[in-house]
Amino acid sequence: MRIVLSGGGTGGHIYPALAIGKQVMAEEPGSSLLYIGSPKGLESRIVPAQGIAFEPVEITGFKRKLSYDNVRTVMRFLKGVRRSKQLLREFKPDAVVGTGGYVCGPVLYAAAKLGIPTLIHEQNAVAGLTNQFLSRYADSVAVSFETALTQFKRSRSTIYTGNPCATNVVRADKQAGFALLGIPPRSRIVLLVGGSRGAKAINDVMVDIVPLLGRLPDVHFVFVTGESYYEGTMSRIKAASPKLPARLQVLPYLHRMPEVLAASQLVVGRSGASSLAEITALGIPSILVPSPNVTNNHQEANARSLADAGAAEMIRERDLNAAALFGRIVGIMNDKHVHAKMGEAARALGMPDSAAMIVGELKRLTGK
């Protein structure tokens, strides 16, 4: 198969696209992939590092109020469509997959106009503007949350597949996670992470939690700050706790997150769609602090879907403090029944075959 992938701006759009590409290559060895993204987005660095051909298309998003910038955005969109058509004619894909972000707009629109089968994947419980726009042109829409099915009324076909990032994480080696951290196997780990770039609110509250960690003497805490926050956060932690607890690791970034996730018993973090797909696939209880600074407040909707199912507890950022968060951690880690029940609820929501389902839909669309 020859597949074009497009998605950009954040890891939440990029990693699902890469997971789909990885599944295509696993099922159809000898397939060819091309990734079309923004030259300024994270995809311009992440995708080439994965050994996948990358081509840039310039595009920006619309402002949510009347602005002359929107006129320029329309012009860039039309230019992006022309550039996308050129790339698609040269690559001759069997199908084009979009996973969200502004760059998908011209790419998927161009593919539809050229008569190439198209599929878009929506990661969040609240559909993004680009995917809502593209749904009227796409041949199929795949969603991560069942509640999102009703948000694509104009689409020709809408299917509930879950998030393809789940497929990658279930293959992770738990023992490798313990080894990476230098922690004895079967240790109890609480992983605190604010996403690939970190989260200031979580970092701030973790500074205040460090002195309390002795109340859970048999639990290892792995705290990932994000690279840009690491130095400042470490300085504040050392100022508050000159002698760091032996069972605390503070890291700027985790390059092999799936393995560490597989070894963890509780995750504290944001509620981006890819992260939730991974923790539900592994059946890990979580405490979610949705970011309030995202479009349509979609992270709160994501977190609410897990909390309502009993798989997670949610703390809004405005209610986040050390006592509230550490109390929730203690309550889950010290109660085997609560922990087990949350884990079962999380696993019931997980869809580890998501990537295979999406590739199956691509095969249906292309007749391969």
Name the binding residues for UDP-N-acetyl-alpha-D-glucosamine. 10-12, 124, 196, 299
Instruction: Please provide the size of the chain in residues.
Output: 368
- Angstrom distance (rounded) from CA 38 to CA 137: 21
Is residue 130 within 8 Å of 101, Cβ to Cβ?
Answer: yes
Q: How far apart are CA 39 and CA 45, in angstroms?
A: 9
Q: Which residue numbers belong to the known binding site?
A: 10-12, 124, 196, 299
The candidate with the shortest Cα–Cα distance to 203, out of 213, 192, 212, 214, is 192
d(CA 165, CA 162): 9
Tokens found for residue 79? 């230019």
State the sign of the Cα–Cα–Cα–Cα dihedral 193, 197, 203, 204.
negative
Look at residue 324 and give its three-state secondary structure.
helix
Pairwise CA distance, residues 230 & 174, whole Å = 26
- From the list 319, 274, 267, the residue with the least C-alpha distance to 292 is 319
